[in-house]
Structure 1
Amino acid sequence: MTKHRLWTTAELLKDGQTHRQIAAATAAGKLHPVIRGVYSVREPTDRMTLRALADQRKVPLTFTGTTAAFLYGLTTMQWPAQGRVPREAGRRGSSLLTVTAGQTLRRWTIDGFRVTSPVETAVCLADGGWDQQQLRNFLTREYSGAKGNDVLVEDLGALPPRLRATAADLLDGLVTGTASKLELRAVTRILRALDNVDVTVQVNVKVAGYRFDIVIPEADVLIEIDSFAFHGAGGEKVTEQTFLRDRWKGNTAVRSGWTLLRYADKCVDFAGSHMAEQVADTVTYNLTHRRTRRRRSPGELLATDGLVWEWHPLFRRA
């Protein structure tokens, strides 16, 4: 019998043991109950118990709250564990597990355990009275590295509306990743402005074949954050092709029925509150006047609504 493996009663019976032998081995301390119907040949640890709880559910279990904090190494294990399952699944828990039902748009994996993202975990802990500086240190650690800000932007966009204001407070002035990220600053401000507005904030999503910085699909709103280097006339990263592609990209989105908002990098840094206010107002207006807007069907689009590099003479010549 493998030392580090968890064994169910059915597996032990299939291995040749009887119910009487299982009971005798348990009484002798050779087998240890982990949860009902699951055993280990060594003394169960907290992680072993969490593994048994997750493995015995028919649907994916994502650990949340203080249990996620334990798996991130922030605290000791506190029982019962906290977990979330999809809304359509049963919420039956036990003395060892409290289960809630809901959607988890972004999750991380730690040693094989599914957990809420660091920012969602931090927000839930903040609401539970945890020290904010400890949580800010945790966020700095988890979102370090070259792609730290990219991951944080995606995790932020997946937060439920009720968590956004607390997330913005925790991240205010926080240095994450290896450099300041323009999109992160923009998304943080927009999420704060959309507090309690039930919409999804997505980042780096394709619409009509083009990738946009921020997408709010329920309100048909697209947001582009344009740095001068990549979008301004004479910018060091601007070529004739990138300038041309940018224009047709915006036209296609608008013709397809989306509202497109564009802001310069300086607007995010020096007029961020005004930017966020305008975004929030556009979102609520579009949600309120939903019936007056209609997206074009595929049959109503022109050939020039396709990807510009597939038909434009400048690209075909290159």
Structure 2
Amino acid sequence: MDITELTVRRDGVFSAQEARECGVSSSSIQRKVAVGEWKAVARGVYLVSGHARSARAQARIAVLSVHNDAVLGGAAAAWWLGLHDAEPRKHVVFTKTRGAARRSSATALARYRPLDDADITVHEGLRTTAPSLTVLDASLDIGMSILDSALLTKRVTVEDLEAAHARYPRRHGATSAASYLRLLGDGARSEAERLTANLLSAGGVSGWIANMPAYGYIIDFAIPHVKVAVEIDGFAFHRDAAAFRRDRLKRNLLVANGWTVLNFTWADLVERPTEIVDEVRAARQRAAS
């Protein structure tokens, strides 16, 4: 690959080492910087003049500013791999070198973590954490919905997630990730019921019945005297077309018979429990009036 092709493939960004591997001497690098053909955007990292410093370019700059063998991780890696839509403002970058990283990019957050080969991938010329470790780390910032989304699209499997988690049991956020993984298991339904019951009781919501039969279906949590139903949606990756159709029919039938139906997800239960209680109270009050 020559330097022109490298420029096109790498959003106009590359390291001095990569330039030399394309046959550009150190003296030529200095000359190009001196005449303004290349701009030094971090120590040993260059952006070709005329190329925008785009979000993609900045991600490359952040990683290369730490080390040539550094690896993009977390929410930024999820974005780079197409697992999440939001462009990152900061870039977690993993390095296997202890001590102060050479970070010279304002967006790079260098973290010491030697990575197993199974947890590193190269996507469009940039080293990132592999999908399983990526979504585990990203879930700390994005929430558990990214786990469900990645499983639903079959980018990862539960087994992949568990294996990646087991390789770094003491990493930052491992406890939270472990709790998410437990929820993905076969006991998810009973765990959802336990969490919801605890939320309603602790929030002072009374008069509810769990698993109440109605119109040929089972309402997850019903407040029958005011006709308020609370439904907990399971993980999307567990569900099929028949389950979605059944839930839609149940909701339509309840609404047609005067019920107020509130649907919450696993992410809601874990990440915004107070808001759930507030919404149930508000629905109950409206229905009673």
Q: TM-score category by the smaller chain?
A: 0.3 to 0.5
Which structure exhibits the higher relative contact order, with contacts defined as CA atoms closer than 8 Å and separated by 6 or more residues? 2
TM-score (norm 2): 0.44
TM-score (norm 1): 0.41
